[in-house]
Chain A
Amino acid sequence: MEILMAVVIGVLFMSATYLMLSKSLLRIIVGTGLLSHGAHLLLLTMGGLKRGAAPLLGENASSYTDPIPQALILTAIVISFGVTAFFLVLAYRTYQELGTDNTERLRGTEGND
């Protein structure tokens, strides 16, 4: 299972990288979104998969899955959401103000060479 997940994560990273190397701001943000999905899944996979019940003590199971990676991922999800939202609005404002979302054309300001 972990090997399959490693491959899936690899594909996520691959397409994220490819998108981030593009010119369009939107694609770059989509790329960061994919990248954070990849990172979260990687955290979960490295903690080990399918080892017992969900981390709720009421289950009375003999073994539980590791709760620490889940806590870490939860934190990471919230932070990446905050950053993505900020980045998104930033891109939106950039587009509004400058009229382009092509990063090749976003080069400094006039007289600021």
Chain B
Amino acid sequence: MSLLLLAILSPLLLAVFVPIFYKYFRPIHTGWFVLPLPVILFSYFLTYIPITSGNQFAAQTLSWIPSLGIDFAARVDGLGLLFALLITGIGALVVLYSIYYLGKNKEQLNTFYVYLLMFMGAMLGVVLSDNLIVLYMFWELTSFSSFLLIGYWYNREKSRYGAQKSMLITVFGGLCMLGGIILLYLMTGTFSISEIMNMGADSFFHNSLFIPALIFILLGAFTKSAQFPFHIWLPDAMEAPTPVSAYLHSATMVKAGIYLVARFTPFFGESSVWFWLVSGIGLFTLFWGSFNAVKQIDLKGILAYSTVSQLGMIMSLLGVGAAALHFEGIHDSYFTVATTAAIFHLINHATFKGSLFMVVGIVDHETGTRDIRNLGGLMTFMPITFTVSIIGAFSMAGLPPFNGFLSKEMFFTGMVRIQEAGLFNLETLGILFPIIAWIASIFTFIYSMILVFKTFTGKYQPEKLEKKPHEAPMGMLISPIILVSLVIIIFFFPNLLADTLIAPAMASILPSLLTGTETFHVHIAAWHGFTIELYMTIGVILLGTIMFLTREKWMGIYRIFPEKLTINHVYNGLLNHSQSLSRSFTDFYMNGSIRTYLLYIFTFFIVLLLSTMGLKNAFTLDTSNLGTIGIWEIILALLIVISCIAVLFSKSRMTSIILLGAVGYTVSLFYVLFRAPDLALTQLVIETVSVALFLLCFYHLPKKRNEERMRFKLTNAIISIGVGLVVTLIAISAHSNKVFDSIAQYYVENTYTEAAGKNMVNVILVDFRGFDTMFEITVLAIAAIGIFSMIKLRLSGRKES
């Protein structure tokens, strides 16, 4: 196994040993054993930068199920490497943070790190897999490990609710994605992502599977990346421990959907459906997330909705960037700026959102609450935390001198420019793009301010806090400090990333724009001159400040939306209704009565057979091949019919038993008439024995109630007449449709010569088809043993217990 594949699997391998560390090295926090791995992996993936910055890639393949075209193929290109560095880099910081966040003695550290490592390995697998099925496998493993991590404090009900919700939604999306993958395979004949991307979509545009595959894949991406209306799981996932929220629900897992969209842009990007879905849903999510974040009172709730909103922003940028595919050549980089912004903001978001989550975790850890109504005036107690959070939040709001400012400017640039593109009917709706983006940015500004100023300034309320606040230990502060340093460094030296990470990632997203050895020239500058973007940012700051200061006055608009119209309400209703509906449906048809089930069975019997006969025109009547009818046959037939009908109307059980006997004896007379002596003998004997048995059983039973006639039920009558009719019709039809003669002639000829017997029936029973007889004997033996044990074995233990 090569080093690259080993690197992907190494977190899963280490996870196996975590419980051993936990059990046998109790004095040392288990996290210290985990920490080296992401650090090593991060430096390992750094060595790939020279390869990918030349738009080359590294690939390794391990044969897994070659007969199905499924191989564990890993491929490191610009996009994959960017994500791998994020996963391992943030992973290392999160592990470091968690060492101080989770107490050594209070928490189940073994399970925590096993889940976290599982997640890390799965996430690396998602972003580095070149095989769609392997990607799907790792995709589901991320859902699964995320489920385990959200439900980490499994004795809290809200954790379990959040875990279940995220599981249901992301697995729904994952299954949709699997459907999309299968459709892609049907179209292209391969599971290899790079092969599919090389084919390009041109020859598949008019394939009827193209649009369904597109929608299914997008469903997978939207559910994972918490896009509207699937964003509802993310706020509930905040019940997870804060390191998990920082890692999974801001920096990595929720970006798996972003990764998927970016990965498939070369294939689906030229379709207008893709453009409208990705950019439209992204923009709406951006607005909806930022709008809802303002009304949250839980710090993590604010951050969750803010993540939703920022993911929507990246998603919309990816959609808009796909429009660049329509303009050949990179020399006019007018529209590719959106893609640049998407990747740039992806990195920026991971830095400032990760740090903000860690800050919130510190506040929670040191004060015991995350409710902004109880917090305030913490600035003097926690100066470092305050500094970190103000940098993170200002970057989130898009203020200079932080990296969020750069990506927000580029975001505005992308949105302003797209309305100038004359395609996909953008002429009419295009003006909405910058407007929505601008409004959403105002809300982003407001909640960022709330996050900082409601927590750290204002009135200090010691009586509402569970603990006396003080600055966090240094170890807990290292990770957020590193992240916010990055926030500032990226602002001043954004082009450090441009050629190493952003340009190669763009080359993976928009490969068709490059020919030969061309590369993208990404240049990010903090100062563009007095452009429309700058005025938009100034507008955001001005209006945002005014609205932040006057928010008490207009917060009332949130009450306009009644609880019933929220998507959470719809989700809960859907869950409860589907449960109660299936419950009542099951109760309706599974009522516990044998008669009902028999009615279902017989009705299906009648309906299926009659409709088949009707559809196939199967009923024929051929009178040429019939035996003759004599007076005896008519008498016997009448006897049977009369006894049958009489059973139905008999009052006492004795009568019905005797009538059953009458039918049996008449049947044996029929055997006599139809020249079956052995049958007649057996039937006589057995009928006698059965009737005796019947009488024996039911004569001795005490008469508890008055015997009565069967009550007439019309449904029963109709069903039973139907059954009789169907059997008669099929019997006549089958008899009239005989295709070939019986094989009886063989037995007639060979019974004496081969088997030395003259009674053909007996010879068939014991010579030609002796196996049947053997097992029929077994049946009798089992019945006898069964009856014996039923009568003899009296275990009345149930009553005693």
Q: Are A75 and B656 in contact, with the CB atoms below 8 A?
A: no
In the complex the two chains form, what is the Cα distance from A35 to B676 in whole Å?
20
Q: How far is the CA of A83 from the CA of B780 in the complex (A)?
A: 8
Comparing B92-100, B533-541, B783-791, the segment that makes contact with chain A is B783-791
Interface residues in A, total, Cβ within 8 A: 83
Interface residues of B in 591-629 (CB under 8 A from A): 592-595, 598-599, 602, 623, 625-629
Bound-state CA distance A65–B671 (Å) is 12
Closest B-chain residue to A110, C-beta based? B798
**B758 interface contact, C-beta 8 A:** yes
Contact A68 B764 (CB under 8 A): yes
**What is the bound-complex CA distance between A8 and B732, given in angstroms?**
12
Given the complex of chains A and B, what is the CA–CA distance between A104 and B598 in angstroms?
Answer: 13
Query: Given A50-B674, A67-B761, are A38 and B647 neighbors across the interface (CB < 8 Å)?
Result: no
Please, how many angstroms separate the alpha-carbon atoms of A75 and B766 in the complex?
11
Whole-angstrom CA separation of A50 from B628 in the bound complex = 8
- Evaluate contact between A15 and B644: CB separation under 8 angstroms: yes
Does residue B382 face the partner (Cβ distance < 8 Å to A)?
A: no
Interface residues of A in 44-89 (CB under 8 A from B): 44-58, 64-68, 70-71, 73-75, 77-79, 81-86, 88-89
Residues on A with C-beta less than 8 A from B633 are: 1, 4
A6-43 interface code vs B (CB 8 A; 1 in, 0 out): 11111111111111111110110110011001101110
The answer to whether A57 and B752 have CB atoms under 8 Å apart is yes
CB neighbours (8 Å) of B728 from chain A are 6-7, 9-10, 13
Assuming the A-B contacts A10-B725, A14-B723, A64-B748, are A45 and B735 also in contact, with contact meaning beta carbons closer than 8 angstroms in the complex?
Answer: yes
Chain B residue, CB-CB nearest to A68 = B744
In the assembled complex, how far is the CB of residue B159 from the closest CB belonging to chain A, in whole angstroms?
30
Residue of A nearest to B673 (CB): A50
Contact A70 B701 (CB under 8 A): no
Task: Give B677 Cβ to nearest chain A Cβ, in Å.
Answer: 6
List of A residues within 8 angstroms of B751 by Cβ = 57
Closest to A92 in B: B697
Q: Are B683 and A77 in contact (CB under 8 A)?
A: yes
Q: Known contacts A3-B626, A38-B727, A54-B676: does B787 contact A86 (CB below 8 Å)?
A: yes
Q: In this assembly, does B670 line the interface, its C-beta being within 8 Å of a C-beta of chain A? A: yes
Contact A44 B598 (CB under 8 A): no
Residues from chain A with a CB closer than 8 A to the CB of B724 are: 10-15, 17
A12-B764 in contact (CB<8A): no
Interface centre among A8, A12, A78, A93 (most CB of B within 10 A): A8
* A-chain residues with CB within 8 Å of residue B623 when the two chains form the complex: 3
Collect the chain A residues with CB atoms within 8 Å of residue B786's CB.
Answer: 86
How many interface residues does B have (CB within 8 Å)?
91
Closest to A23 in B: B595
CB distance from B747 to the nearest CB of A (A): 6
Contacts of B760 in A (CB 8 A): 55-57, 64, 67
For residue B675, which residues in chain A have a CB less than 8 angstroms away from its CB?
Answer: 50, 52-55, 65
- The interface bits of chain B over 144-172 (1 if a CB of A lies within 8 angstroms of the residue's CB, else 0) are 00000000000000000000000000000
Partner of B764, one of A67, A89, A103: A67
Task: Tell me the bound Cα distance from A92 to B637 in angstroms.
Answer: 32
Give chain A nearest CB distance to B609 CB in angstroms: 12
Nearest-neighbour CB distance to chain B for A44, whole angstroms, equals 6
A74 touches B679 (CB 8 A): yes
Which residue of chain A lies nearest to B640 when distances are taken between CB atoms in the complex? A8
Q: Is the CB of B439 closer than 8 A to any CB of chain A?
A: no
User: Do A46 and B713 form a contact, CB below 8 Å, given A4-B637, A11-B724, A12-B640?
Assistant: no
**Residue contact A68 to B716, C-beta cutoff 8 Å:** no
Structural contact, A30 and B657, CB atoms closer than 8 A: yes
With a cutoff of 8 Å between Cβ atoms, the chain A residues found around residue B698 in the complex are 26, 92
Cα distance A102–B21 in the bound complex, in angstroms = 64
Nearest residue (CB) in A for B733 is A6
Residues of A within 8 A of B625 (CB): 48
Contact with A along B671-710 (1 / 0, CB 8 A): 1001111110011001001100110011001001000001
What 0/1 pattern do residues 750 to 780 of B give for CB contact below 8 A with A?
Answer: 0110000011110011000100110010011
Q: Are A88 and B670 in contact (CB under 8 A)?
A: no
Distance between B667 CB and nearest chain A CB, rounded to angstroms: 5
Residues of A within 8 A of B759 (CB): 55-57
Q: Is the CB of B697 within 8 A of A50?
A: no
B111 within 8 Å of A (CB atoms): no
**Which residues of B lie under 8 Å from residue A18 when comparing CB positions?**
648, 716-717, 720
- Decide if A70 touches B761 in the complex (CB within 8 Å): yes
Q: Are B595 and A79 in contact (CB under 8 A)?
A: no
* Contacting residue for B595 out of A45, A46, A104, CB 8 A: A104
B207 within 8 A of A: no
B549 on the A face (CB < 8 A): no
Kindly state the separation between the CA atoms of A81 and B683 in the bound complex, as whole angstroms: 10
Give A110 Cβ to nearest chain B Cβ, in Å.
10
Residues in B whose Cβ lies below 8 Å from that of A65 = 674-676
Q: Is B731 an interface residue (CB 8 A)?
A: yes
Interface status of B719 (Cβ within 8 A of chain A)? yes
A2/B727 contact (C-beta < 8 A), A55-B759, A67-B761 known: no
The answer to whether A27 and B664 touch across the interface, beta carbons within 8 angstroms, is no
15 contacts between A and B (CB under 8 A): A6-B728, A9-B731, A13-B727, A14-B725, A15-B645, A15-B724, A19-B647, A21-B716, A22-B716, A50-B627, A53-B675, A54-B675, A82-B783, A85-B787, A107-B593
